[in-house]
Structure formats: structure tokens, C-alpha cells
Amino acid sequence: MSKPTVDFKDISLSLKKLGIKRGDGILVHSSLSSFGYVKGGADAVIDALLEAVGQEGTVLVPTLTGKDTDSPQNPPIFDVMKTPCWTGRIPTEFMKRPQSRRSLHPTHSVSGIGPLVPFLINGHENSITPCGKNSPYYRLAEKGGYILLIGVDQESNTTIHTAEELAEVPYHMQREPTDTTIIDYHGKRIIKRLYLHRWGVPRRFQRIDGELERLGIMRKVKCEGSTLRLIKPMQMINWLVDRLRKDPWYLCLHPFDVYRKFGRDFRTQM
């Protein structure tokens, strides 16, 4: 059986059905292969996204580089011009566009095109935690932007980490800060002492999918083999922070296993 085939027009129509319009700001998590076969590949998807929001709108993609070995003993070195991301073909191609600009966070950078990009990304390297209030993830929510999941589910929704950080859940951040190295657009090396993501804690982010839809925070459309989800991030953050403050383990798959693995004194220190 042949794969479904989509093109620029199919994707554009799906974005319009979701309600994305000119002037919007969107953070896009994506799987190119989820569509089936895309005529024009990743560039067709990127072109459709940019057309949907117009010149007055802004598109962000996550260009994450964090890894499970990052720690004070093995600090990450991030070169904004050279360090590849592991978030897929669409972000990789997006970064190559001459008008794109990437934030300087050493593990959770984003790349963006559009007039809001300077406000969203400037100073991301100063955010004490990767996705906190000084990050593009929170700033986009402040501006009334959207999260768009293309062919991926809530497990890929990085802004959920924003809620975890704001709620100060005990499992999310490494206990000690790390002196990270950042090489900026001018080749200058910068040292930033930051708290990094704690790897190895199994999550169940997908459990919020039905709740977001029920609460009117998310809507969905299909585009051949891909499901597109459009989420209002500030509403999601507010709801989820409240939920996590009542039950800090709400997003953990096996909270008691996490407790046994890391011990009773693991917590965020900021």
C-alpha cells in the first residue's frame, strides 16, 4: 500500500481549518513522516506555516540539543551556528533559512522567523531554568500565541516543562547548577551558570490530551496520516500549574519509582 501524499496546499488548508491566521505566533513541534509522503519535503511544511501567519506573524520551532549526560561534571557546549538539534527534519531545515534566528540557551534553544522573534528569544541564555518565565516558551504564551503539534502528541510538547518549572515540581531540574558554555553568533564564548533538565524521569504527558480538548484549550484536525493539534499555551500553563501544585506527581509515570531512584532530598533549588 502506498503512503498518503500531501502537498503545500493540503497543509495550508489544514492550518486554516485549525484557525491559524495572519499575525499569529506559533511554536511548532512536528513529525514530517507523520503525513506520509510530502511533496517538497520539510520546505513545503515550513512554507505553509510561514504563509499561514504572514509577514506579520511569527513561527518558532524547538531546536533542542540537551542530552542525558549534561551535568556539572559534563557541562554542555553549545554553538548557536553549528550545534545540530535532535527535534527532526523540519526544525533542521528551518534553521538553515537565512532569516531564521536561534536563541542561545545551551539545551532548549528555539529558532524563529518573524517580527516577534527578538522579544521571544533575546536573553534565553539568562533563563535560570530552560523553559521558565524568561524563555520563549513562556513569552509566546504571554503574547497570546499558540502551540502547534504536527503529527506528534503531548510527549513532544516542551511547554509542559514550563508548567513543571513554575510549579517547582521536585523531580524536574538537576539539584546543582552547571557552568554551561555558549558560543554566540560572533564566535564569542560565554559561560552561564544554569539549572539543567533532569533526565531519566518517566513522564506521561499524553494524559492531559483529553483534558485540554475537553476544556477548550486544544482543537484538532487531520491531514492525511497526520493529526494537527492547536493549543492555547497560557491556558494550558495556568491549568497545569494549578494541577501540579495540588499533585506534584501528576505527570510522572511511576512516582514511587522516581522517589526510590533519586532519594527523598531531590528537589529544585533556584
pLDDT in tens, 114-142: 999 999 999 999 999 999 999 999 999 99
Q: What is the pTM of this model?
A: 0.93
Look over the chain and give the mean of its residue pLDDT values, rounded to a whole number.
Answer: 94
Q: Determine the pLDDT at residue 267.
A: 44
Domain that holds residue 143: 5-262
Q: Is residue 269 part of a domain?
A: no
Tell me the C-alpha distance between 137 and 218, whole Å.
Answer: 17
For residue 118, give the C-alpha cell. 527578538
Tell me the C-alpha distance between 118 and 104, whole Å.
Answer: 12
Q: Is residue 268 part of a domain?
A: no
Q: Is residue 98 part of a domain?
A: yes
Percent of the chain with pLDDT over 70: 93
**Pure H helices in the chain:** 8-18, 41-53, 89-96, 117-121, 136-142, 159-167, 209-214, 233-246, 255-262
Looking at the structure of the chain, the number of domains it has is 1
Q: Determine the pLDDT at residue 265.
A: 47
Q: Is residue 270 part of a domain?
A: no
187-230 pLDDT tens trace: 999 999 999 999 888 899 999 999 999 999 999 999 999 999 99
Q: Is residue 115 part of a domain?
A: yes
Q: Is residue 169 part of a domain?
A: yes
* 185 phi, psi to nearest 5 deg: -65, -20
Residue type, 248: P
Q: Determine the pLDDT at residue 268.
A: 39
Q: Is pLDDT at 170 greater than 80 in this prediction?
A: yes
Mean pLDDT calculated for residue range 79-89: 97
Q: Determine the pLDDT at residue 4.
A: 82
Burial of 124 (0-12, 13-18, 19+ CB in 10 A): buried
If pLDDT is split at 50, 70 and 90, which confidence band does 260 have?
A: low
Q: Is residue 59 part of a domain?
A: yes
Tell me the C-alpha distance between 250 and 208, whole Å.
Answer: 10
Torsion of CA 169, 174, 179, 181, to 10 degrees: -90
Q: Is residue 120 part of a domain?
A: yes
